[in-house]
């Protein structure tokens, strides 16, 4: 039996294009109060929360030490707090380490991002590139993703029609998700007639600017029963960093995702994800990434993404019933959103989206251009 | 008078007039003093974009006086000594108005150490004088050889470099039968070749030079046996220019204020100061925050406080702090104060600025002792911003 | 709550760059690579042996978003697991704690923590000011500069004694930095200069003088952590992480009590008390052999010594006045020269852990404490008075 930690409760606010009437502190507070209400957890130095892990980003927040402004609203006053300055999914992996290490038995995990605050998310991701060469060239996550999209679509025979199909499905699924961003339902034809953004990616093929916050209470196996009758377990986590320069890598190889998935599966004791996992939540920052990451986590054959979509792979493997990242989550927080969707299914609270008898789920998330860093977690009921 | 790096303290003062930058002297109207240990005292007068320097025995009337020893003074002025380090470690001291003295930094172009030209003869002397020190004995195991140089022209000469038993010696003649002899028609070509200005191929091809004997010994072994000759004139110039890119990066932001901070900022429009109150412990927060961090509960009730209060603490800021939102440096000194408004207690203070001309009159409160009473000075057109209060002033 | 740990974790490799304000010769990944190479060499390992890389700095200082992506060129994280954790000034200490957790959890056997900053590539005081709320404090704050700590100490002990203690502390740090080849600033100050420096060193804010404030450095530090089994196989003297604690405080700059009826709870004191209590340390000043303290300014430092060790009255000032905090003294503080000597912020708190561990190993070099070091303490500071404390041990004997 693999070592595991429990998710006892989750909380979130609705994904929104612009919470212009709220500070991110207000957004977090909603989630914080919900977790306390659901679990009655305290901040007692012996029995309560001593460590809070947060996830946020200095550049998106335009604040040096973005977690500095939220100490009070996440309950961290005179307690420990550490910031995952990376995709939120890694916060779950790190929380797992904190708990399994014995240093903590209870972790509050909170995240926020207000993408609407800055003038342009492209200006933010442009800053991820070196100031000498790639940054002046104008590289950002979207146009680097577009290069990967072009190469991948060629390799796996994915067409504009496939991308349109993914977007239409994402928005339909998103409508079923009470916390999903409100997006216009479109037809495939409308999608394919929509404006081009970074060729071959149309604007509608890229996740929209979104504000969101969440909270999760995580704890050791022994203590889960104190906070819930219906815990969901995290049994595996794995990540992998690819190299930086685009010319140094094969953009279609899924190198980092394959490694991350294998590491995560190994920890959770998964041998065949197609048979052992009933639900997949993939962070598709752009539509082409859904089949590409499906190949990476091992549910579509390599080089066959187009056919996999035609054969109904997305529904067969229950991929992105939440609407996925493509329906709208902040860039930084896609992984937490994926994990929360898995939590709902595994604890039988997914409403109209519920996958029957879901026992195991996979949440995947990535950051950087062209999926440079990838991480995968395995969750079980 | 002592020399440092070939420069006398007087040289620095005597060249001030020619190094003077009128554009750097705008708004400067002051007399500065220089007290250089064992060297003397100088008085610098700057007025109406002009300057005057006088050697003096009396530095009375100077707004600020710099003290240093001669070596440090010359070093700082020529860039041989790091000015910040000299200053911080007390080797350079400034008595009087530090802020005013800071302006002297922009008054002058840097003093450039004049470089003496080196002739071909100087170079040849230096090149052969450094042969022994550049010799790498461990590369000469079991080697016995002699390298002869026959360099023609007016400034030329003859040299032989002997290597035996891992010892290197040089003579200014050519004796016996050298292992290899290098002949140059003009010694200048040899100097240029060693300095990397021309390559060996082109000299040989043009018939300007020839080698006799074991040519391989000169072409392949010499570079291993000796460290490369370093041009003393290029001594401080790094081999590779280190390029630094300067960029200002900004992404425009719109910061939401939310219901709590928003209420506080809206209050300012109406000349009212609202603190929010913790429903459990009762503490007030300024500016208000969404929760009471200590009790971990929402704090949505507001109490009007002030607008008058007392100063509990003042940070008297001398460091020219750039405003992070505009990049413009704040004018110093200024006073950042923490105000305890009427209706607040303990540490429930709000930070803002005090009127500049009142800094010196401010008394800080401590325990039971009251601080100076202050009141806000409101902006005419208020927008719900920190600057709706221009500053605080003493409430007399 | 007694402290428990799934398995023991030891430090097996340490590398740090020369800290300096002139590192135009390297770019960011190259600077990191220097520290990484040195740490691997120290541990006699290669990147193949590393399971996970933990990266930390404050990205707004250099204005690079998610810098671990570009820095992979220097961190060696290619193909590895890699996480990035930051917590402001404490970040270096936090990635040390995180590495301890990652190894202790059993998820990874060998983890490498990298703290980094290239402060010359941005405006440090502007960067620190940007941490404040954009609606209010940001427009008033002067970075990390405040004279309030000086004001506090002067109120309590009189201006003359306080000023002298601050400069004595500062000169001790300079003497230590003079022994540390990696230190950024070592001026060669003498105790005879105290009165002179009090008079002439330019004031920054209130009575906080230029000489008393930390430097702005470029530098990187890399520390390698391993599980007990591997640590014993690889290292001659692994340095064991006994425990660590992190304490944050609300965002509020009115952090100094001005009224004895309303005392302010201090994070350093709270952290130290809890950490020592759960580890059964009743007399910390005698228990520890060295303390690497995050000392951003000498005023803060002299005040904090009291908080960390739970000293009473003026015991902390006496330690300084009697020079007991010098190498060879009763409680040596910052043999490295401390943060006042070198401050590449993202690396600074990790350097505290690294330097403390070097003292335990006994191979710190010219600034090694002459007597055996069995128990070491390191602290980190950041944000609005945040604390991280780490306890290191020579033997697994708790």
* Residue of higher predicted confidence among B323 and B171: B171
Task: Check whether residue B220 and residue B344 sit in a common domain.
Answer: no
**What ipTM does this complex have?**
0.96
Task: Check whether residue B131 and residue B100 sit in a common domain.
Answer: no
Q: Which domain holds residue B364?
A: 258-394
SS3 label, residue B36: strand
Q: Is it the case that residue B195 has pLDDT exceeding 80? A: yes
Residue by residue, DSSP assigns B222-236 as: HHHHBPPPP-GGGTT
Task: Check whether residue B186 and residue B84 sit in a common domain.
Answer: no
Tokens at B391, concatenated = 């500053």
| Contact call for C258 and B317, based on CB within 8 A | no
Task: Check whether residue B144 and residue B41 sit in a common domain.
Answer: no
SS3 label, residue C26: coil
B236 falls within a domain: no
* Residue B166's CATH number: 3.30.1050.10
Distance CA C395, CA C238 (A): 9
Mean pLDDT calculated for residue range A215-231: 97
Residue A134 — pLDDT band, cuts 50, 70, 90? very high
- What is the tens place of the pLDDT at every residue in A90-133? 999 999 999 999 999 999 999 999 999 998 999 999 999 999 99
CB proximity A6 to B under 8 Å: no
CA distance A201 to chain C (A): 23
Mean pLDDT calculated for residue range A333-343: 98
* Best-predicted range by mean pLDDT (A347-361, B38-52, B143-157, C134-148): A347-361
Measured on CA atoms in the order C155, C160, C165, C167, is the torsion positive or negative? Answer: positive
Beta bridge partners of A279: A361
pLDDT of residue B122: 84
Q: In this structure, are residues B39 and B105 in contact, taking their beta carbons and an 8 Å threshold?
A: no
- What is the tens place of the pLDDT at every residue in B217-256? 888 888 889 988 887 776 544 456 677 777 777 788 899 9
Residues of chain A in contact with residue B291, where contact means CB-CB under 8 angstroms, are: 29, 72-73
Please report the residues numbered 340 through 379 in chain A whose beta carbons come closer than 8 angstroms to any beta carbon of chain C: 367-369, 372-373
**Hey, how many other C-beta atoms are within 10 angstroms of the C-beta on B77?**
23
Domains of chain C listed by start with CATH number: 9-124+217-226 (3.40.47.10)
Task: Check whether residue B213 and residue B154 sit in a common domain.
Answer: yes
CB proximity B289 to C under 8 Å: yes
Tokens at B178, concatenated = 């050298």
Task: Check whether residue B16 and residue B53 sit in a common domain.
Answer: yes
B387 falls within a domain: yes
Q: What is the pTM for the complete model shown? A: 0.86
Task: Check whether residue B182 and residue B216 sit in a common domain.
Answer: yes
CB proximity A58 to B under 8 Å: no
pLDDT of residue C253: 60
Q: In this structure, are residues C221 and C13 in contact, taking their beta carbons and an 8 Å threshold?
A: no
* Residue of higher predicted confidence among C263 and A245: A245
Rounded mean pLDDT of chain B?
87
| Contact call for B324 and C130, based on CB within 8 A | yes
Q: Which residue has the tokens 């057109």?
A: B381
- What is the tens place of the pLDDT at every residue in C149-161? 899 899 999 999 9
Give counts: helices (H), strands (E), chain B: 12, 22
Q: Which of B67, B82, B106 is the last residue of a domain?
A: B106
Q: For residue B69, which of B89, B39, B102 has the smallest C-alpha distance?
A: B39
Task: Classify burial at B167, counting beta carbons within 10 Å of its beta carbon; exposed 0-12, middle 13-18, buried 19 or more.
Answer: exposed
Angle between helices C298-309 and C159-179 (to 10 degrees): 90
Task: Check whether residue B71 and residue B148 sit in a common domain.
Answer: no
Task: Check whether residue B224 and residue B281 sit in a common domain.
Answer: no
Query: Any idea of the CA torsion for B306, B307, B313, B314, to the nearest 10 degrees?
Result: 170
Q: Please count the structural domains in chain B.
A: 3
pLDDT of residue C348: 97
Rounded mean pLDDT of chain C?
93
* Residue of higher predicted confidence among C54 and C137: C54
Task: Check whether residue B19 and residue B91 sit in a common domain.
Answer: yes
Q: Angle CA(B367)–CA(B370)–CA(B372) in degrees, nearest 5?
A: 135
Contacts of A381 (CB under 8 A, 6+ apart): A232, A233, A346, A347, A348, A358, A359, A360
Q: In this structure, are residues A39 and A316 in contact, taking their beta carbons and an 8 Å threshold?
A: no
| Contact call for A244 and C105, based on CB within 8 A | no
pLDDT of residue C319: 98
Distance CA A187, CA A180 (A): 19
Please tell me which of the candidates B293, B322, B367 has its beta carbon nearest to residue C259.
B367
Write the CATH number of the domain with boundaries A234-380: 3.40.47.10
Q: Is it the case that residue A1 has pLDDT exceeding 70? A: no
CB proximity A101 to C under 8 Å: yes
Q: In this structure, are residues A49 and A43 in contact, taking their beta carbons and an 8 Å threshold?
A: yes
- What is the tens place of the pLDDT at every residue in A283-327? 999 999 999 999 999 999 999 999 999 999 999 999 999 999 999
Identify the residue among A56, A58, A250, A368 best suited for mutation to test binding to C, counting C beta carbons within 10 A and taking the highest.
A58
| Contact call for B256 and A21, based on CB within 8 A | yes
Please tell me which of the candidates B245, B249, B293 has its beta carbon nearest to residue A132.
B245
SS3 label, residue A380: strand
- Which residues of B touch chain A, with CB atoms under 8 Å apart? 245, 247, 249, 251-261, 289-294, 296, 298
Task: Check whether residue B266 and residue B384 sit in a common domain.
Answer: yes
Distance CA C319, CA C322 (A): 5
pLDDT of residue B325: 63
Q: Angle CA(C316)–CA(C319)–CA(C324) in degrees, nearest 5?
A: 150
Q: Is it the case that residue B13 has pLDDT exceeding 80? A: yes
Map out the domains of chain A as residue ranges: 234-380
Tokens at A282, concatenated = 């993939």
């Amino acid at each position: 039996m693999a070592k595991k930690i429990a998710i006892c409760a989750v909380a979130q606010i609705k994904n929104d294009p612009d919470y212009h009437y709220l500070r991110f502190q207000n957004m977090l507070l909603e989630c914080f109060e919900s977790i306390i209400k659901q679990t009655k957890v305290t901040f007692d130095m012996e029995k309560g929360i001593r460590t809070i892990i947060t996830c946020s980003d200095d550049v998106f927040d335009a604040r040096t030490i973005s977690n500095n402004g939220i100490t009070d609203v996440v309950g961290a006053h005179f307690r420990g707090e550490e910031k995952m300055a990376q995709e939120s999914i890694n916060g779950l992996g790190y929380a797992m380490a904190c708990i399994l290490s014995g240093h903590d038995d209870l972790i509050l995990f909170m995240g926020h991002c207000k993408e609407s605050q800055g003038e342009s998310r492209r200006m933010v991701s442009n800053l991820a590139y070196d100031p000498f060469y790639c940054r002046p060239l104008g590289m950002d996550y979207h146009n680097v993703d577009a290069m990967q999209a072009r190469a991948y679509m060629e390799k796996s025979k994915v067409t504009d029609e496939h991308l349109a199909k993914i977007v239409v499905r994402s928005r339909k699924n998103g409508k079923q998700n009470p916390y999903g961003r409100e997006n216009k339902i479109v037809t495939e034809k409308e999608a394919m007639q929509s404006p081009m953004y970074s060729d071959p990616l149309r604007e509608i093929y890229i996740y929209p600017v979104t504000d969101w916050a969440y909270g999760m209470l995580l704890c050791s196996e022994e203590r889960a029963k104190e906070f819930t009758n219906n815990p969901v377990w995290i049994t595996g986590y794995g990540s992998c960093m690819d190299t930086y320069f685009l010319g140094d890598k094969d953009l279609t190889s899924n190198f980092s995702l394959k490694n991350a998935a294998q590491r995560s599966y190994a920890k959770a004791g998964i041998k065949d994800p197609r048979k052992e996992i009933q639900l997949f939540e993939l962070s598709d920052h752009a539509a082409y990434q859904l089949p590409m990451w499906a190949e990476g986590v091992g549910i579509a054959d390599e080089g066959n993404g187009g056919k996999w979509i035609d054969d109904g792979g997305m529904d067969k493997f229950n991929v992105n019933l939440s609407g996925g990242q493509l329906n709208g989550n902040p860039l930084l927080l896609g992984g937490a959103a994926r994990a929360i969707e898995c939590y709902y299914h595994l604890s039988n609270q997914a409403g109209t989206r519920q996958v029957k008898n879901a026992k195991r789920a996979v949440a995947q998330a990535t950051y950087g251009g062209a999926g440079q860093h990838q991480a995968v977690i395995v969750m079980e009921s | 008078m002592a020399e440092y790096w070939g420069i006398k303290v007087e040289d620095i003062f005597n060249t001030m007039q020619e190094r003077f930058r009128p554009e750097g002297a705008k708004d400067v109207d002051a007399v500065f003093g220089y007290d250089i240990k064992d060297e003397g005292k100088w008085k610098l007068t700057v007025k109406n974009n002009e300057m005057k320097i006088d050697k003096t025995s009396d530095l009375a009337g100077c707004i600020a006086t710099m003290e240093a020893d001669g070596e440090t003074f010359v070093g700082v002025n020529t860039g041989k000594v790091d000015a910040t380090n000299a200053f911080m470690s007390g080797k350079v001291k400034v008595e009087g108005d530090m802020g005013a003295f800071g302006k002297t930094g922009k008054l002058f172009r840097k003093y450039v150490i004049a470089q003496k030209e080196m002739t071909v003869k100087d170079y040849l002397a230096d090149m052969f004088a450094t042969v022994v020190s550049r010799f790498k004995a461990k590369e000469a195991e079991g080697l016995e050889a002699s390298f002869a140089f026959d360099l023609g022209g007016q400034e030329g000469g003859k040299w032989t470099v002997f290597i035996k038993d891992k010892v290197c010696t040089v003579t200014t003649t050519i004796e016996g039968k050298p292992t290899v002899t290098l002949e140059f028609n003009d010694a200048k070509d040899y100097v240029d070749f060693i300095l990397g200005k021309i390559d060996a191929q082109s000299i040989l091809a043009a018939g300007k030079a020839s080698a006799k004997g074991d040519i391989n010994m000169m072409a392949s072994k010499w570079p291993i046996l000796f460290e490369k000759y370093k041009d003393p004139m290029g001594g401080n110039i790094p081999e590779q220019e280190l390029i630094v890119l300067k960029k200002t990066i900004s992404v425009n932001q719109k910061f939401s204020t939310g219901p709590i901070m928003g209420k506080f900022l809206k209050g300012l429009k109406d000349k009212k100061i609202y603190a929010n109150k913790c429903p459990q412990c009762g503490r007030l927060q300024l500016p208000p925050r969404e929760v009471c961090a200590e009790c971990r509960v929402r704090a949505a009730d507001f109490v009007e406080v002030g607008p008058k209060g007392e100063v509990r603490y003042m940070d008297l800021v001398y460091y020219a702090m750039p405003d992070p939102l505009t990049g413009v440096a704040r004018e110093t000194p200024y006073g950042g104060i923490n105000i305890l408004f009427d209706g607040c207690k303990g540490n429930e203070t709000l930070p803002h600025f005090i009127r500049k001309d009142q800094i010196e009159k401010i008394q800080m409160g401590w325990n039971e002792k009251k601080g100076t009473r202050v009141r806000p000075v409101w902006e005419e057109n208020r927008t719900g911003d920190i600057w709706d209060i221009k500053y605080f002033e003493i409430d007399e | 709550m007694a402290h428990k740990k799934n398995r023991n974790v030891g430090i097996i490799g340490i590398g740090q760059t020369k800290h300096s304000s002139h590192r135009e010769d390297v770019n960011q990944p190259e600077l990191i690579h220097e520290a990484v190479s040195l740490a691997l060499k120290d541990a006699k390992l290669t990147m193949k042996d590393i399971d996970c890389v933990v990266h930390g700095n404050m990205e707004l200082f250099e204005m690079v978003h998610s810098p671990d992506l570009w820095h992979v060129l220097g961190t060696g994280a290619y193909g590895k697991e890699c996480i990035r954790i930051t917590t402001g000034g404490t970040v270096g200490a936090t990635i040390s704690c995180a590495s301890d957790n990652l190894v202790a959890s059993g998820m990874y056997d060998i983890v490498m923590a990298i703290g980094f900053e290239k402060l010359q590539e941005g405006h440090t005081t502007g960067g620190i000011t940007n941490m404040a709320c954009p609606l209010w404090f940001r427009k008033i704050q002067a970075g990390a500069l405040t004279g309030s700590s000086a004001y506090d100490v002067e109120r309590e002990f009189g201006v003359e004694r306080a000023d002298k203690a601050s400069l004595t502390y500062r000169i001790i740090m300079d003497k230590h930095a003079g022994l540390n080849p990696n230190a950024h600033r070592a001026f060669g100050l003498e105790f005879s200069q105290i009165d002179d420096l009090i008079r002439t060193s330019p004031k920054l804010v209130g009575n906080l003088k230029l000489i008393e404030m930390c430097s702005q450095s470029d530098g990187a530090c890399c520390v390698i952590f391993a599980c007990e089994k591997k640590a014993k196989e690889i290292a001659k003297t692994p340095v064991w992480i006994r425990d660590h604690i992190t304490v944050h405080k609300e965002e509020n700059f009115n952090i100094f009590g001005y009224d004895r009826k309303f005392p302010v709870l201090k994070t350093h004191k709270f952290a130290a008390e809890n950490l020592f209590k759960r580890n059964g340390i009743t007399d910390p000043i005698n228990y520890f052999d060295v303390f690497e303290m995050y000392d951003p300014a000498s005023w803060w430092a002299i005040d904090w010594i009291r908080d960390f060790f739970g000293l009473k009255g003026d015991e902390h000032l006496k330690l300084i006045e009697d020079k007991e905090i010098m190498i060879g003294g009763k409680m040596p503080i910052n043999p490295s020269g401390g943060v006042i000597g070198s401050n590449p912020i993202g690396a600074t708190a990790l350097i505290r852990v690294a330097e403390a561990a070097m003292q335990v190993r006994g191979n710190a070099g010219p600034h090694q404490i002459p007597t055996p070091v069995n128990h070491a303490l390191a602290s980190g500071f950041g944000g609005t008075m945040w604390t991280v404390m780490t306890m290191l041990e020579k033997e697994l004997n708790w």
